[in-house]
Chain A
Amino acid sequence: AQSVSQHNHHVILSEAASLELGCNYSYGGTVNLFWYVQYPGQHLQLLLKYFSGDPLVKGIKGFEAEFIKSKFSFNLRKPSVQWSDTAEYFCAVNFGNEKLTFGTGTRLTIIP
């Protein structure tokens, strides 16, 4: 079955630390990949997306993600996090149909 896994449920970092959040999916075909962020009490906002081309995608707020097809991964990274990055981060995958499958989310807490 097609699925999306985010193994890190809760990540706690200090400000200025580097961030990497994992996202893996199970599917051998063509995929389209998204990262969304949900700040406390707010709706989901698109951080970045990958459809094709350069596997290193740059998004808003200094985030980037790398699609590694051989590893079925689309990890989210940021070189230096800020307190305002405290939020929940969702990886979502389109498995060639019209729906998005979301991961369970990773809660990120940044300590000032």
Chain B
Amino acid sequence: DARVTQTPRDKVTEMGQEVTMRCQPILGHNTVFWYRQTMMQGLELLAYFRNRAPLDDSGMPKDRFSAEMPDATLATLKIQPSEPRDSAVYFCASGLAVWDDRPETQYFGPGTRLLVL
């Protein structure tokens, strides 16, 4: 049963520290999405990649957030420096885009619960 995996599952850190979250998409999927979920804002799309290339990161605070895909099996989301308002659950999702009119179905990972003190 193929799944998206994310590490760490939980992270507690102090304000100002760097946080790196990792995501392993489902093998063969070519699209990776990063979302942030909070009580106040709900689910927000931060960024997404197709074939490892960033397609849209307009939802991401540029000054402190960065997202990369070093290879097809790993996506990272980094926050530096972290702030208390970054506390949220960060979800990664992957999908397989094919070249027709249909969007890919997104499969979500278990999330990283981040608490910045």
**Interface positions of A (Cβ within 8 A of B):** 30, 32, 34, 36, 42-46, 49, 51, 90, 94, 98-100, 102-105
Contact between chains at B111 and A43 (CB < 8 Å): yes
Interface hub of A45, A46, A99 (most chain B Cβ within 10 A): A99
**Interface positions of B (Cβ within 8 A of A):** 31, 33, 42-43, 45, 48, 50, 55-56, 91, 93, 97, 101-103, 105-111
Q: Which of B50, B97, B105, B110 contacts A43 (CB 8 A)?
A: B110
- Chain B residues closer than 8 Å to A105, beta-carbon distance: 42-43
Interface contact tally, CB-CB below 8 A: 42
Closest chain A residue to B41 by CB distance?
Answer: A104
What 4 A-B pairs come out closest when comparing CB atoms?
A44-B108, A94-B103, A102-B43, A43-B108
- Chain A residues closer than 8 Å to B55, beta-carbon distance: 98
How far, in whole Å, are A90 and B44 apart by their CA atoms in the complex? 13
Contact between chains at A34 and B42 (CB < 8 Å): no
Contact between chains at B109 and A99 (CB < 8 Å): no
How far, in whole Å, are A2 and B2 apart by their CA atoms in the complex? 32
Instruction: Tell me the minimal C-beta distance from A97 to chain B in angstroms.
Output: 8
- Chain B residues closer than 8 Å to A36, beta-carbon distance: 108
Contact between chains at B48 and A34 (CB < 8 Å): no
Closest chain A residue to B89 by CB distance?
Answer: A43
- Chain A residues closer than 8 Å to B102, beta-carbon distance: 32, 51
Contact between chains at B45 and A99 (CB < 8 Å): yes
How far, in whole Å, are A85 and B97 apart by their CA atoms in the complex? 30
- Chain B residues closer than 8 Å to A98, beta-carbon distance: 31, 48, 50, 55-56, 97, 103
Instruction: Tell me the minimal C-beta distance from A17 to chain B in angstroms.
Output: 26
- Chain A residues closer than 8 Å to B42, beta-carbon distance: 102-105
Contact between chains at B45 and A100 (CB < 8 Å): yes
Contact between chains at B91 and A43 (CB < 8 Å): yes
